Amino acid sequence: MSNESLKTVAKNKKAYHDYFIIESYEAGIELKGSEVKSIRAGRVNLKDSWCSIVNGEIFVNGLHISVYEQGAIWCKDPLRVRKLLMHKKEIMKLFGQEQQQGYSIIPLSMYFKGSNIKLQIGLCKGKKLYDKREDMARKSAKRDIERALKNRQY
């Protein structure tokens, strides 16, 4: 990634709250028509999306790309299932881990890499309620420490 610019379009903050991210992968995404223009405008929601593997191909479900207003008559369904573009070896590795260990495949972020749109997906394990509480307590403690250091007089 030396000379290619990365511009983040959308992040799935809920995924970081609800899951432990074990591993992350980069995938291309198959888009149609004016979906690219909607993505460039930032009209994407990753919040309730997930990935599924069917017949050796990986698809993203629940990814909402809003309809592009100026692209009048050939508008696609905003919640349609979209195919992800990955190497077969990576897909098979993900499929094996998802089946054996009970992990989920969740989209983490969408970004431009040069002129291409990429989706970062993560192999995730769900957090329990006590894990979420622990994370919130850790963040709160860190915030308190930073606040105390900021207000400290010399």
pLDDT at 36: 86
Give Cβ neighbours of residue 106 (< 8 Å, ≥ 6 apart): 12, 15, 19, 49, 50, 51, 121, 122, 124
Tokens of 21: 């991210």
Q: How far apart are CA 106 and CA 125, in angstroms?
A: 10
What CATH number was assigned to the domain covering residues 6-127? Answer: 2.40.280.10
Q: Cα angle at 110 between 1 and 116, to 5 degrees?
A: 55
Q: How far apart are CA 37 and CA 43, in angstroms?
A: 9
- The pTM of the full predicted model, rounded to 2 decimals, is 0.78
pLDDT at 1: 44
pLDDT in tens, 46-96: 988 999 999 989 999 999 988 877 766 666 678 889 999 999 999 999 898
Give Cβ neighbours of residue 26 (< 8 Å, ≥ 6 apart): 113, 118, 119, 120, 121
pLDDT band at 4, cuts 50/70/90?
low
- pLDDT beyond 50 at 108: yes
- pLDDT beyond 80 at 2: no
pLDDT in tens, 5-51: 788 899 998 888 888 899 999 999 998 878 888 888 888 999 889 99
CB atoms within 10 A of CB 21: 15
